[in-house]
Chains A and B, each alone.
Chain A
Amino acid sequence: IAGITQAPTSQILAAGRRMTLRCTQDMRHNAMYWYRQDLGLGLRLIHYSNTAGTTGKGEVPDGYSVSRANTDDFPLTLASAVPSQTSVYFCASSGQGGANVLTFGAGSRLTVL
Protein backbone atom coordinates (compact mmCIF):
# COMPACT_ATOMS: atom_id res chain seq x y z
CA ILE A 1 0.00 0.00 0.00
CA ALA A 2 1.49 3.31 -1.12
CA GLY A 3 2.08 5.84 1.60
CA ILE A 4 4.35 6.96 4.39
CA THR A 5 5.83 4.72 7.06
CA GLN A 6 7.05 6.20 10.32
CA ALA A 7 9.02 4.44 13.05
CA PRO A 8 8.90 4.06 15.93
CA THR A 9 5.18 4.41 16.67
CA SER A 10 6.02 5.57 20.17
CA GLN A 11 9.12 5.96 22.29
CA ILE A 12 10.02 7.00 25.81
CA LEU A 13 13.42 8.61 25.98
CA ALA A 14 15.65 9.96 28.74
CA ALA A 15 16.67 13.60 28.45
CA GLY A 16 20.06 14.04 26.83
CA ARG A 17 19.78 10.95 24.66
CA ARG A 18 20.03 10.99 20.89
CA MET A 19 16.99 9.84 18.92
CA THR A 20 16.22 9.40 15.23
CA LEU A 21 12.67 9.19 13.94
CA ARG A 22 12.47 7.39 10.62
CA CYS A 23 10.25 8.28 7.69
CA THR A 24 9.98 6.43 4.38
CA GLN A 25 7.63 7.09 1.46
CA ASP A 26 7.02 4.99 -1.63
CA MET A 27 5.12 7.52 -3.74
CA ARG A 28 8.23 9.08 -5.33
CA HIS A 29 7.17 12.45 -3.94
CA ASN A 30 9.77 15.18 -4.24
CA ALA A 31 8.88 17.15 -1.11
CA MET A 32 8.94 15.83 2.44
CA TYR A 33 8.21 17.48 5.77
CA TRP A 34 8.44 16.96 9.51
CA TYR A 35 5.80 18.46 11.81
CA ARG A 36 5.23 18.33 15.51
CA GLN A 37 1.72 18.47 16.95
CA ASP A 38 1.10 19.74 20.45
CA LEU A 39 -2.21 20.25 22.21
CA GLY A 40 -3.51 23.76 21.64
CA LEU A 41 -0.78 24.63 19.14
CA GLY A 42 -1.68 22.57 16.12
CA LEU A 43 0.83 21.31 13.58
CA ARG A 44 4.12 23.20 13.33
CA LEU A 45 6.75 22.67 10.66
CA ILE A 46 10.18 21.60 11.91
CA HIS A 47 12.16 20.98 8.71
CA TYR A 48 11.35 20.32 5.10
CA SER A 49 13.01 19.08 1.93
CA ASN A 50 11.83 20.12 -1.53
CA THR A 51 13.93 17.47 -3.26
CA ALA A 52 16.62 14.91 -2.49
CA GLY A 53 19.85 16.58 -1.40
CA THR A 54 18.21 19.76 -0.10
CA THR A 55 16.68 20.68 3.26
CA GLY A 56 15.25 23.79 4.86
CA LYS A 57 14.23 25.07 8.27
CA GLY A 58 10.64 25.43 9.26
CA GLU A 59 8.95 27.29 12.09
CA VAL A 60 10.51 25.35 15.00
CA PRO A 61 13.85 23.85 13.85
CA ASP A 62 15.96 24.28 17.01
CA GLY A 63 17.17 21.00 18.51
CA TYR A 64 16.35 19.01 15.37
CA SER A 65 18.28 18.04 12.25
CA VAL A 66 17.30 16.24 9.05
CA SER A 67 18.95 14.72 6.02
CA ARG A 68 17.65 13.75 2.58
CA ALA A 69 20.13 11.38 1.00
CA ASN A 70 17.52 9.95 -1.39
CA THR A 71 13.92 10.53 -2.48
CA ASP A 72 12.31 8.00 -0.18
CA ASP A 73 13.86 8.62 3.26
CA PHE A 74 13.73 11.68 5.49
CA PRO A 75 14.96 10.94 9.04
CA LEU A 76 14.57 13.45 11.88
CA THR A 77 17.26 13.48 14.57
CA LEU A 78 17.14 14.90 18.07
CA ALA A 79 20.82 15.23 19.03
CA SER A 80 20.19 15.68 22.74
CA ALA A 81 16.53 15.31 23.66
CA VAL A 82 14.87 17.70 26.12
CA PRO A 83 11.45 17.38 27.82
CA SER A 84 10.00 20.21 25.67
CA GLN A 85 10.45 17.92 22.67
CA THR A 86 7.77 15.62 24.03
CA SER A 87 5.23 15.66 21.22
CA VAL A 88 3.66 13.72 18.38
CA TYR A 89 5.76 13.93 15.24
CA PHE A 90 4.27 13.61 11.77
CA CYS A 91 6.16 13.07 8.55
CA ALA A 92 4.45 14.17 5.33
CA SER A 93 5.18 14.26 1.63
CA SER A 94 3.79 15.91 -1.49
CA GLY A 95 4.46 16.01 -5.20
CA GLN A 96 6.13 19.14 -6.54
CA GLY A 97 3.84 22.13 -6.87
CA GLY A 98 1.84 24.33 -4.54
CA ALA A 99 -1.51 22.62 -5.03
CA ASN A 100 -0.30 19.15 -4.25
CA VAL A 101 -1.94 17.54 -1.26
CA LEU A 102 0.11 16.48 1.73
CA THR A 103 0.10 12.79 2.61
CA PHE A 104 0.84 12.22 6.29
CA GLY A 105 2.27 9.29 8.15
CA ALA A 106 0.55 7.85 11.21
CA GLY A 107 2.82 9.74 13.60
CA SER A 108 5.47 8.97 16.20
CA ARG A 109 4.66 9.75 19.82
CA LEU A 110 7.81 10.76 21.68
CA THR A 111 8.04 11.27 25.43
CA VAL A 112 11.23 12.78 26.85
CA LEU A 113 11.65 12.36 30.60
Chain B
Amino acid sequence: KNQVEQSPQSLIILEGKNCTLQCNYTVSPFSNLRWYKQDTGRGPVSLTIMTFSENTKSNGRYTATLDADTKQSSLHITASQLSDSASYICVVSACQAGTALIFGKGTTLSVSS
Protein backbone atom coordinates (compact mmCIF):
# COMPACT_ATOMS: atom_id res chain seq x y z
CA LYS B 1 0.00 0.00 0.00
CA ASN B 2 1.30 3.46 -0.89
CA GLN B 3 1.95 5.39 2.31
CA VAL B 4 3.74 8.51 3.50
CA GLU B 5 4.78 8.72 7.15
CA GLN B 6 6.03 11.93 8.73
CA SER B 7 7.85 12.46 11.99
CA PRO B 8 7.73 13.96 14.46
CA GLN B 9 4.01 14.67 14.64
CA SER B 10 4.78 17.98 16.34
CA LEU B 11 7.86 19.93 17.34
CA ILE B 12 8.61 23.01 19.44
CA ILE B 13 11.88 24.88 18.97
CA LEU B 14 13.36 28.21 20.00
CA GLU B 15 13.71 31.01 17.48
CA GLY B 16 17.08 30.89 15.75
CA LYS B 17 17.53 27.15 16.15
CA ASN B 18 17.69 24.60 13.31
CA CYS B 19 15.38 21.63 12.92
CA THR B 20 14.85 18.67 10.64
CA LEU B 21 11.56 17.07 9.69
CA GLN B 22 11.39 13.52 8.36
CA CYS B 23 9.33 11.85 5.66
CA ASN B 24 9.41 8.11 4.86
CA TYR B 25 7.41 6.71 1.99
CA THR B 26 6.50 3.40 0.42
CA VAL B 27 5.12 4.81 -2.82
CA SER B 28 5.84 2.90 -6.00
CA PRO B 29 6.53 3.65 -8.77
CA PHE B 30 7.95 6.92 -7.53
CA SER B 31 7.64 10.11 -9.56
CA ASN B 32 8.47 13.04 -7.30
CA LEU B 33 8.34 14.27 -3.71
CA ARG B 34 7.05 17.64 -2.59
CA TRP B 35 7.15 19.57 0.65
CA TYR B 36 4.37 22.03 1.42
CA LYS B 37 4.03 24.62 4.19
CA GLN B 38 0.58 25.27 5.59
CA ASP B 39 0.05 28.29 7.82
CA THR B 40 -2.89 28.15 10.22
CA GLY B 41 -6.13 28.93 8.41
CA ARG B 42 -4.49 28.91 4.98
CA GLY B 43 -4.03 26.46 2.13
CA PRO B 44 -0.72 24.61 1.66
CA VAL B 45 2.01 26.37 -0.31
CA SER B 46 4.74 24.52 -2.18
CA LEU B 47 8.30 24.74 -0.80
CA THR B 48 10.20 22.23 -2.93
CA ILE B 49 9.66 19.47 -5.44
CA MET B 50 12.26 16.77 -6.17
CA THR B 51 12.40 14.05 -8.77
CA PHE B 52 14.16 10.70 -8.55
CA SER B 53 17.53 12.07 -9.68
CA GLU B 54 17.66 15.01 -7.26
CA ASN B 55 19.28 14.63 -3.84
CA THR B 56 19.00 18.16 -2.49
CA LYS B 57 16.95 21.24 -3.21
CA SER B 58 16.94 24.53 -1.35
CA ASN B 59 14.43 27.33 -1.04
CA GLY B 60 15.91 30.06 1.14
CA ARG B 61 16.33 28.69 4.67
CA TYR B 62 14.55 25.46 3.69
CA THR B 63 16.62 22.55 2.36
CA ALA B 64 15.02 19.28 1.32
CA THR B 65 16.94 16.06 0.78
CA LEU B 66 15.86 12.88 -0.94
CA ASP B 67 17.29 9.38 -0.71
CA ALA B 68 15.38 7.36 -3.29
CA ASP B 69 17.14 4.15 -2.27
CA THR B 70 15.96 4.25 1.34
CA LYS B 71 12.76 6.13 0.38
CA GLN B 72 13.40 8.90 2.86
CA SER B 73 13.27 12.66 2.66
CA SER B 74 14.04 15.38 5.15
CA LEU B 75 13.26 19.07 5.36
CA HIS B 76 15.88 21.09 7.20
CA ILE B 77 15.02 24.57 8.44
CA THR B 78 17.95 26.81 9.25
CA ALA B 79 17.89 29.69 11.75
CA SER B 80 14.19 29.33 12.43
CA GLN B 81 11.91 32.34 12.61
CA LEU B 82 8.53 32.82 14.27
CA SER B 83 6.97 32.82 10.80
CA ASP B 84 8.15 29.24 10.31
CA SER B 85 5.45 28.11 12.74
CA ALA B 86 3.19 26.03 10.51
CA SER B 87 2.33 22.52 9.43
CA TYR B 88 4.75 20.92 6.95
CA ILE B 89 3.31 18.32 4.64
CA CYS B 90 5.23 15.75 2.62
CA VAL B 91 3.51 14.64 -0.60
CA VAL B 92 4.72 11.84 -2.85
CA SER B 93 3.58 11.41 -6.43
CA ALA B 94 3.32 7.99 -8.04
CA CYS B 95 3.69 7.34 -11.75
CA GLN B 96 0.24 6.21 -12.77
CA ALA B 97 -2.74 7.37 -14.79
CA GLY B 98 -4.91 10.05 -13.26
CA THR B 99 -3.85 11.75 -10.09
CA ALA B 100 -1.80 9.79 -7.60
CA LEU B 101 -0.61 12.10 -4.83
CA ILE B 102 -0.11 10.51 -1.44
CA PHE B 103 -0.15 12.97 1.44
CA GLY B 104 1.55 12.64 4.78
CA LYS B 105 -0.35 13.83 7.83
CA GLY B 106 2.10 16.64 8.42
CA THR B 107 4.44 17.86 11.16
CA THR B 108 3.30 20.83 13.20
CA LEU B 109 6.21 23.14 13.99
CA SER B 110 5.98 25.80 16.67
CA VAL B 111 8.79 28.35 16.90
CA SER B 112 8.85 30.28 20.15
CA SER B 113 10.78 33.40 21.14
Contacts and interface: CB of A to CB of B under 8 A. Distances in A.
B60 interface: no
A90 B91 CA distance: 15
Interface in A41-85: 41-45, 48, 50, 56, 58
Nearest to A39: B105
A102 interface: yes
A48 B105 contact: no
Say which size band chain B's interface belongs to. Answer: 20 to 34
**Would you call the interface of chain A mostly helix, strand, loop, or mixed?**
strand
B103 interface: yes
Interface in A23-37: 31, 33
Contacts, number: 55
Contacts of A103: 46
A106 B45 CA distance: 10
A101 B46 contact: yes
A41 B4 CA distance: 12
Contact of A48 (B41, B44, B95, B98): B98
List 4 A-B pairs, minimum CB-CB distance, nearest first: A104-B43, A42-B105, A101-B46, A43-B103
9 contacts: A33-B99, A42-B106, A44-B103, A50-B98, A58-B99, A102-B46, A103-B46, A104-B43, A104-B45
Interface of B: 31-32, 34, 36, 41-46, 49, 51, 89, 91, 93, 95, 98-99, 101, 103-106
